[in-house]
Structure 1
Amino acid sequence: MVLRIVPSVMHPNVQAAINDSSPGDSIKILAGTFDGFEVDVENLKIFGCGIGRTIIAGAPAQGSNNGVVVDADRTTLQGFTVQGFDQDGILANSNNNVLKEIESNFNLSINIAGNNNLILNCHSKFSETGFDINGDSNCVIRCESTQNGDGFQISSIINKIINNHSINNEFSGALVLSSQIILNNKIIGNGENGLFVGTENNMMIDNMVCNNGDSGIFIPSNTNTIDSNIVRNNGTDINNAGILVLAGSTDNIIRFNKARNNVDFDIEADPPADMNNTFDGNKCGNSDPPGLCT
C-alpha cells in the first residue's frame, strides 16, 4: 500500500495519482484547487484537507461533465469541496463506497447510482437536487441539503435516510419513491411538500416536518407507514394539510403522529381514503373528515 501526495512532482493532479495507483493505495490531496477526476481503481482512499480547504473545481472528470466520477468499488472519498460543474458534483456509479465529509456546491447533485454506499456528514447546496439516490440499499446519515431545488430524491429501493436535514429548498424536502426507510430527519422550510411519498411500501418514522409551503407529508400512494412524526405549521391554502392522503390511496398506516397548526387541516383524507387507510393514535387539532385525531 502506497500513499501518494497531490500536488507533487510525480503527481501534479489527482488523476495522475489515480493512474499510478493499485488497489489499497491512498491519495492525500493538499489544500488548494484541483481539477475533477475519475476513480477507476478499486479500494482507493482519497482524502482532502477538509471542506473549503481542498476544492475540486475547474476541468471535469475525464470523459464527462461531472466533478468526481466513482466507477470502482470500495472507494473512500473524504474531506473536500466539489463545486461549479455542469453535471453532478459527485457521480458514484459503483458499490460499497464511503463518502464522508464532502461538500457539493453549484452542481447538479450528489448522485448515488450504485448500491450499498455510505454517505456520511455530507453537505449539498445551490444545486438542482441536493442528494439524488438512484441505487439500492444505500445509507445516508447526518447529511444536509440546503437551498437546492429538491432536497432529496430517492427513487430506487431499500435506502435508509437517517438523521439528515433538508432545509429551505425551493421545492420538496424529500421526494420518496419505493420502499425507503426515512427515519429521524428534520425537513423544514421547504417551498413545496416536506415529504412527498410517491410510491408504495415506505416507512416514515420520527421525522420533524415543519414550516413547509405545501403539505407536510403528502401521500398519493399505498401501503406506507407514517409513524410518530412531528408535523407542524405546514401549508398555505385549502389544498394543503399537515398530512394529506389522496382519495385513491389505500392500506397506509398513519399512527401516533403529532400534528398542529397546519393549513387547512392537521390531517386530511379525501374520501374514501378515510375508510381505506388506518388512522390510529394521532394527536392533532383538527381533521377532515373529523375523527382522524385522538
Structure 2
Amino acid sequence: MRRKHIKCLVGVTVTAATALGSATVPTAAAGHADHVVRPGASIQSAVNAASPGDTIVILPGTYRESVLIKTPGLTLRGIGDRTVIRPAATATKAANACATEGNGVCVVGTKGHTVDDVSIHSLTVSGFKKSGVWASWTDGLTVRRVTATKNGTWGIAQERSTRAAFLRNTATGNGDAGVFVANSVSEEGGATDTRGTEIRENTLSGNRIGVTARRVRNLVIDSNRITANCSGVFVVGDESKPAAGAMTISGNRIVKNNKFCAATPRLSAIQGSGIVLTGSERTVVRSNVVRDNVGATPLSGGILLFKSFVGALNTDNSVTRNLVQGNKPADLANRDTTGKGNTFDSNTCGTSVPAGMCAE
C-alpha cells in the first residue's frame, strides 16, 4: 500500500523583516517548519534550508529559476495558478543540475538512495526547454493540481520511480507527453514495476501525447480528460523482459485527439489516436469513452493494438465495455494479429478491424 502523509498547514504571518525574502515559521507538527517564499526571494534557498517533513510555501508571483529537491518528505506548495515558475532570464555558472538540464522542478535521487515522499502542489511550471516537473529515482512522489504548460518535451515526467501519484494536474501545449512515465530515458531494459503509480483526474490537451507509459508496468491511468493531442494514451513496450503492461486504463474521456505530429526517428507520424498499445501484456482497457479521434496514419483510430516497432507482440490484453464511436479509420483495431490472447468484449462501437468486434 502506498504510504500517505497528512500534515496540517497552519496560518503563517510574514513580518516586515522578511517582507523581501523568506521566513521560517514553526508548524503544529513537532520539529517541522513552513518556509515562506515571496517574489524576489529564492525558492531554491528555502529548499536548501529545509529539513525532511518541512513545507515550502510559495506566495503568488513569478519566480525565474529551476528548483532541485533532494531532501525526502518535503512539500513544495504554491497558491494555485498565481504561483508561476519560469526559466531564469539568463544562465549562470551557479545554476543547479535541474536548470542546466532544462527542467523546472526536479526531484532527484540515486539508485541506492531514492528521494521519498515529496509533494508538489498547486503551482504552474511553464516554458522550460525540457520538462516542467522531472523526477528520477523517487518513491511516493505526489504531484497534485500542477499546471505544466509550453515545456519543450514533457509536462510532468518521471523515470526509475515507484508509487507516484499524479492527480488533478493540467498539462497543455508540451512538446511530447503531458504526463510521461518510463523505466529510463537513457538506457534500454525491462519494464519498471511502478508498484501502483496513479495517473488520475488530469486534464491533458494540446500535447503530442496525453499520457505515455513507456516500458513500465503495474500502474493505473484513470478518469483523465484527454483531448486535442496527436494521441491520447500510448503504452510503449519492446522485446525486453519484464514486458510493459499489467496496468489498467479505465474511466478516461479521450476525445478528438486530432492534432498532427510528424514522424520521429522512433515513431511514425501520429494523428487521431485514442488509446494505443504496442508490445504490452495483460493490460486492461475498460469503461473508457473514446470518441471522434480521426486520422490517416497507421496509428489512427479509437483503441488500437499495434505491434511494437521492434517487433514485440501484444499478449493477453483485455479491451472491455468501452464506448468507442466516431473514430476513423476504425473504432477498434487489432493490427497485431500475431499477438496471442488479446480479447475485445462488450464494447459499444460502430466499426472494427477486423470486422465483428463491436457488441451488437
Q: TM-score, normalised by structure 1?
A: 0.85
Give the superposition deviation at 1:222.
Answer: 2.0
State the secondary structure of the residue aligned to 1:216. Answer: strand
Give the superposition deviation at 1:174.
Answer: 1.0
Q: Do residues 145 (structure 1) and 171 (structure 2) align?
A: yes
Q: Which residue is 1:100 aligned to?
A: 121
Q: Do residues 204 (structure 1) and 214 (structure 2) align?
A: no
Flag the 1:284–1:189 CA change in 2: closer, same or farther, 3 A: same
Task: Report how many residues are paired.
Answer: 275
Higher mean C-alpha displacement, 180-189 vs 38-47: 38-47
Give the superposition deviation at 1:206.
Answer: 0.4
Q: Which residue is 2:94 aligned to?
A: none
Give the superposition deviation at 1:11.
Answer: 9.2
State the secondary structure of the residue aligned to 1:37. Answer: helix
Q: Do residues 182 (structure 1) and 221 (structure 2) align?
A: yes
Contact 1:5 1:11 in 2 (8 A): no
Q: Distance in 1 between matches of 2:182 and 2:24?
A: 34
Residue by residue over 1:133-170, the C-alpha shift from the partner in whole angstroms, topping out at 9 and shown as x without a partner, is 2221011111000111121101141310110011111x
Runs of 4+ with deviation above 3 angstroms:
3-14, 33-36, 273-276
Contact 2:20 2:41 in 1 (8 A): no
Q: Do residues 161 (structure 1) and 181 (structure 2) align?
A: no
Match of 1:244 among 300, 304, 318: 304
Q: Which residue is 1:116 aligned to?
A: 140
Match of 1:81 among 81, 84, 101: 84
Q: Distance in 1 between matches of 2:282 and 2:320?
A: 13
Identity of aligned residues (%): 21
Q: Do residues 235 (structure 1) and 238 (structure 2) align?
A: no
Residue by residue over 1:186-234, the C-alpha shift from the partner in whole angstroms, topping out at 9 and shown as x without a partner, is 11100x2210011221210000111113211111122211011111111
Q: Distance in 2 between matches of 1:172 and 1:43?
A: 34
Q: Distance in 1 between matches of 2:106 and 2:14?
A: 21
Q: Distance in 1 between matches of 2:226 and 2:334?
A: 22
Q: Distance in 1 between matches of 2:289 and 2:121?
A: 29
State the secondary structure of the residue aligned to 2:116. Answer: coil
Q: Do residues 37 (structure 1) and 44 (structure 2) align?
A: yes
Contact 1:29 1:47 in 2 (8 A): yes
Contact 2:140 2:164 in 1 (8 A): yes
**Matching residue's letter, 2:62:** I
Aligned residues: CA RMSD: 2.5
Q: Distance in 1 between matches of 2:157 and 2:14?
A: 29
Q: Distance in 2 between matches of 1:119 and 1:148?
A: 17
Give the superposition deviation at 1:34.
Answer: 3.6
Contact 2:315 2:339 in 1 (8 A): no
Q: Which residue is 1:64 aligned to?
A: none
Contact 1:27 1:45 in 2 (8 A): yes
Q: Distance in 1 between matches of 2:332 and 2:281?
A: 17
Match of 1:24 among 27, 32, 39: 32
Unaligned stretches of 5+ residues in structure 1: 61-66
